[in-house]
C-alpha cells in the first residue's frame, strides 16, 4: 500500500460485522468511509459516513461516484429472510439478491478497475457458511454462494495488477440480525466451539486480508465457523 493513510469503504458500518470491521480498521490506522442506512454512531476523526440504501441500484451508482479510489472495499451489509419450500417469498429473495449480489457487482464494476489502475487494492465480501446450502435458507444461500463465484472471477481479472478479492464466510455470528423478528422461528445453531462467532473475530480476519501481508491471497472463501464445517 502507499505511504499515505489508506482509505477503506465499509458497507453496513452502523451495526454488526460492518461496524466491527470499521472499528478495527480505524484502530489499525485506516481512514474509513462507512456506507449505511442507519445513523452514524462511530465517533472517530478518521471516520465519515455516507447514507445509501444498497438495495436500490440507482443509489449505489450515485454512491460510487463519490468514493474515488479507495485502497480497500469491505461489503458487509446484509439481510436474512429465511423460508422453507412452500413459504418462499419472491420479494424477500429479490431483496437479498439486490443487497448481496447486485450491490456488490455495482461496487466492484466501478471500484475494482480504479484500484487496478492504481496498482493496489483489496476487496473483501462478507459471505456466509450457509452458502453451501441449508434447509430453510435456500434464497439466502444462493445469494451468498454467488459472492464466491464473483470473487473468484474478479480476482482472476485483477490478480496481476496488485488487487485481491476474497470472501469471508462466518457461521452464526452474535449480531442484531439474530434478533430480527423475520427469523424468530429459526434460531441459529451453535458451532461446535459452543458459542456464536463474535463480530470482532470476523473483523480481525478482514483486517488481515486488507493488509499488505495478504497480497498472495485472492479468490478465496475463508470460513470463520467455530468448527461447523469440520467433518463429523
Active-site residue identified among 140, 170, 183, 197: 140
The CA distance from 57 to 84, in Å, is 28
Ramachandran bin of 226, using left for φ above 0, alpha for ψ from -120 to 50, beta for the remaining angles: left
| Distance, C-alpha 150 to centroid of its chain | 13
Tens of pLDDT, residue by residue, the chain (232 residues) = 655 899 999 999 999 999 999 999 999 999 999 999 877 789 999 999 999 999 999 999 999 999 999 999 999 999 999 999 999 999 999 999 999 999 999 999 999 999 999 999 999 999 999 998 899 999 999 999 999 999 999 999 999 999 999 999 999 888 776 655 555 555 677 888 888 999 999 999 999 999 999 999 999 999 998 888 887 6
pTM greater than the 0.75 cutoff: yes
Tell me the per-residue pLDDT of 126-155, one tens digit each, with 9 for 90 and over.
999 999 889 999 999 999 999 999 999 999
Q: Active-site residue 212, yes or no?
A: no
75 in Cβ contact with 124 (< 8 Å): yes
Amino acid at each position: 500500500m502507499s505511504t499515505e493513510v489508506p482509505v477503506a469503504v465499509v458497507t453496513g458500518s452502523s451495526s454488526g460485522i460492518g461496524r466491527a470491521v470499521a472499528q478495527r480498521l480505524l484502530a489499525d490506522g485506516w481512514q474509513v468511509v462507512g456506507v449505511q442506512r442507519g445513523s452514524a454512531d462511530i465517533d472517530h476523526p478518521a471516520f465519515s459516513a455516507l447514507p445509501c440504501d444498497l438495495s436500490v441500484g440507482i443509489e449505489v451508482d450515485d454512491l460510487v461516484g463519490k468514493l474515488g479510489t479507495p485502497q480497500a472495499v469491505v461489503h458487509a451489509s446484509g439481510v436474512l429472510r429465511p423460508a422453507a419450500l412452500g413459504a418462499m417469498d419472491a420479494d424477500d429473495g429479490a431483496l437479498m439478491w439486490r443487497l448481496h449480489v447486485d450491490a456488490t457487482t455495482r461496487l466492484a464494476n466501478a471500484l475494482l478497475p480504479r484500484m487496478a489502475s492504481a496498482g493496489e487494492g483489496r476487496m473483501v465480501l462478507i459471505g456466509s457458511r450457509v452458502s453451501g446450502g441449508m434447509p430453510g435458507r435456500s434464497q439466502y444461500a444462493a445469494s451468498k454462494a454467488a459472492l464466491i463465484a464473483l470473487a473468484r472471477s474478479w480476482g482472476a481479472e485483477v490478480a496481476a495488477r496488485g488487487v485481491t478479492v476474497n470472501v469471508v464466510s462466518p457461521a452464526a455470528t452474535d449480531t442484531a440480525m439474530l434478533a430480527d423478528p423475520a427469523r424468530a422461528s429459526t434460531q441459529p445453531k451453535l458451532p461446535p466451539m459452543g458459542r456464536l462467532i463474535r463480530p470482532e473475530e470476523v473483523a480481525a480476519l478482514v483486517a488481515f486480508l486488507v493488509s499488505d501481508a495478504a497480497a498472495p491471497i485472492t479468490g478465496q472463501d475463508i470460513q470463520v465457523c467455530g468448527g461447523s464445517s469440520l467433518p463429523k
